[in-house]
């Protein structure tokens, strides 16, 4: 599957936009729409120059697409577009490796329509070791989109 406009809008909504480097709640240097890396794989640093909105959008598309490819490799069950979008948003936020090792993925691969999946999204609400209201809102929204017909 491939990302669509709804997927990009979902991620942009929760990541927000910063044209200059900043430290995210997990204390990682970040730029654009929550990017910790550039297209060439170089890590964002707090010393990097500002980017334009166009550069941020281009970076978002490229990085989200790379996460979509990872999700496609990890998920063996057939998904609808909403399920795919929710999982790409999740992986973009927590990392593909965390998705790979999650109970969430195990449940999706066993039966992508089981309701227990909703609870698995909600387990991922900590940043820097602390519960985050922003992550709680994001996980609720991802879960709602996942189960939206």
13 in catalytic set: no
DSSP character for 115?
Answer: T
114-127 residue pLDDT tens:
999 999 999 999 98
Q: Determine the pLDDT at residue 24.
A: 85
Q: Would you state the structure tokens that stand for residue 147, as one six-digit string? A: 């189960």
DSSP for residue 46: T
What does the pLDDT read at residue 26?
77
Catalytic residue among 13, 15, 130, 142: 15
Q: Please write the tens of the pLDDT for every residue from 19-61.
A: 999 998 778 999 999 999 999 999 999 999 999 999 999 999 9
Contact 138, 14 (CB under 8 A): yes
- Whether 72 and 91 have beta carbons less than 8 Å apart is answered as no
- What's the pLDDT at 103? 98
């Amino acid at each position: 599957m491939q990302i669509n406009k709804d997927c990009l809008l979902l991620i942009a909504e929760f990541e927000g936009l910063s044209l200059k480097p900043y430290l995210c709640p997990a204390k990682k240097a970040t730029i654009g729409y929550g990017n910790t890396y550039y297209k060439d794989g170089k890590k964002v640093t707090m010393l990097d120059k500002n980017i334009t909105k166009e550069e941020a959008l281009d970076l978002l598309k490229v990085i989200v697409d790379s996460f979509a490819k990872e999700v496609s490799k990890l998920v063996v069950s057939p998904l609808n577009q909403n399920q795919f979008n929710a999982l790409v948003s999740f992986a973009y936020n927590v990392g593909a490796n965390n998705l790979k090792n999650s109970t969430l993925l195990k449940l999706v691969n066993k039966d992508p329509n089981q309701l227990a999946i909703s609870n698995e999204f909600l387990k991922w609400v900590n940043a820097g070791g602390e519960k985050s209201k922003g992550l709680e809102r994001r996980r609720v929204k991802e879960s709602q989109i996942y189960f939206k017909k």
